[in-house]
């Protein structure tokens, strides 16, 4: 659980020191007040990255030399601290309980997160590349060794493609063998997590009172079903040399949500797809809690504006059901029934980057 958050010179937040408890913390205020900055600061602690900009240096407050975000976590009787510092001139540091962080996977293990915002709720409607990022993100958080296999696969893919473009010859056997071996590991990890999320997704939708008859999650491997990746690469070898790139493998995979035999995005409305994706994110968090033994912090950025009232309330209800820690943003508290299942409930008001706790209810 995240218990404390300190922010300095991050976007329009000059300085803030916040304390959190279990349950729900809601940040209210007008658009542009700085509500999303709080969630993004937490996201940086758990991933090393911002979800609003690809360059963290651009998030440094005007005329300041750098930004700093520090978070304190408590799980059971153990406490830890993550600190992230970035300088406008470049460089900075990331530390976990005083020690330098060598890999971002260390942050994910210490502070697992699940983000629901406009971009993440549209992932299923986008193309295969976006859906691959979705499943990879899920696997990365559930199986921490996955990042190593994923990196080895993409390194082998890059080297094989360079060789194919340069020589158009048959001298790519070593990279093909590496690609096949590690590619199978990547696919198997994706399959395991897809199955876990699929089972949990059905339960989440039932708890939300939502039905999508005949729904299933299907992972397409990126090569012909029933065939090994080695065989698929060998079968495409001549064509790969002619084209200068690798045509089969996990880099061509796709995670599809089907209703019967049709992709959900061909059947459901935009609003229904967002409901489905929000349920999938909740399912992802539950799987993470069960497998890793550490419940994630859910970051919900203006979900009330993305979902209609009843479905937004249903999302908060299923999160409260499992006593999840949730940090959410909203223009105002609105209908109190949306938050009724949460205890405790803490409300912060954000105005021009100044954050004030206004209400706390046990």
* Bridge partner residues of 75 (DSSP): 78
Gap between the Cα atoms of 34 and 22, Å rounded: 22
Residue with tokens 């937490």: 42
Query: Could you give all domains of the chain from N- to C-terminal order, each with its CATH number?
Result: 1-112+296-362 (3.40.50.300), 124-293 (1.20.1050.90)
List, for the chain, all residue ranges whose pLDDT scores fall below the cut of 70.
167-172, 361-362
Q: What is the pLDDT of residue 125?
A: 85
Q: What is the pLDDT of residue 292?
A: 81
Q: What is the pLDDT of residue 145?
A: 85
**Cα dihedral 122, 275, 46, 345 sign:** positive
* Bridge partner residues of 7 (DSSP): 16, 69
Q: What is the pLDDT of residue 169?
A: 58
Q: What is the pLDDT of residue 264?
A: 92
Helix (H, G, I), strand (E, B) or coil at 27: strand
Q: pLDDT digit string (tens) for 224-256?
A: 999 999 999 999 999 998 899 999 999 999 999
Q: What is the pLDDT of residue 353?
A: 93
Q: pLDDT digit string (tens) for 271-316?
A: 999 999 999 999 999 999 998 888 999 999 999 889 988 999 999 9
Number of Cβ atoms within 10 Å of the Cβ of 47:
21
CA 224 to chain centre: 29
Model confidence, pTM: 0.92
Mind giving me the DSSP string for 283-323?
HHHHHHHHHHSSPPEEEEESHHHHS-HHHHHHHHHHHHHTT
What are the two backbone dihedrals, phi and then psi, of residue 16, each rounded to the nearest 5 degrees? -150, 145
């Amino acid at each position: 659980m995240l218990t404390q958050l300190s922010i300095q010179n991050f976007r329009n937040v000059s300085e803030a020191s916040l304390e959190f408890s279990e349950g729900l913390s809601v940040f209210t205020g007008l658009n542009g007040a700085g509500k999303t900055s709080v969630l993004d600061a937490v996201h940086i602690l758990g991933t090393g990255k911002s979800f609003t900009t690809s360059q963290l240096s651009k998030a440094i407050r005007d005329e300041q030399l750098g930004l700093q975000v520090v978070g304190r976590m408590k799980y059971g009787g153990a406490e830890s601290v993550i600190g992230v510092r970035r300088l406008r001139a470049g460089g900075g540091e990331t530390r976990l309980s005083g020690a330098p962080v060598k890999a971002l996977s260390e942050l994910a293990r210490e502070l697992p997160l699940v983000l629901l915002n406009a971009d993440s709720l549209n992932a299923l409607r986008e193309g295969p590349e976006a859906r691959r990022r979705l499943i990879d993100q899920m696997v990365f958080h559930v199986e921490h060794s996955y990042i190593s296999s994923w990196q080895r696969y993409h390194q082998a893919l890059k080297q094989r493609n360079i060789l194919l473009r340069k020589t158009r010859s048959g001298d790519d056997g070593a990279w093909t063998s590496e690609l096949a071996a590690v590619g199978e590991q990547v696919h198997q990890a994706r399959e395991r997590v897809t199955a876990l999320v699929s089972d949990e997704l059905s339960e989440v939708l039932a708890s939300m009172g939502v039905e999508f008859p005949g729904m299933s999650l299907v992972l397409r491997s990126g090569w012909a079903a029933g065939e090994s990746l080695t065989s698929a690469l060998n079968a495409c070898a001549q064509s790969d040399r002619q084209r200068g790139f690798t045509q089969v493998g996990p880099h061509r995979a796709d995670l599809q949500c089907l209703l019967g035999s049709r992709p959900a995005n061909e059947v459901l409305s935009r609003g229904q797809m967002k409901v489905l994706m929000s349920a999938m994110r909740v399912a992802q968090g539950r799987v993470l809690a069960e497998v890793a033994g550490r419940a994630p912090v859910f970051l919900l950025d203006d979900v009330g504006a993305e979902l209609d009232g009843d479905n937004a309330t249903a999302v908060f209800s299923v999160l409260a059901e499992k006593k999840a820690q949730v940090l959410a943003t909203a223009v105002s508290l609105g209908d109190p029934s949306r938050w009724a299942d949460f205890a405790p409930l803490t409300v912060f008001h954000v105005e021009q980057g100044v954050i004030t706790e206004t209400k706390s209810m046990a």
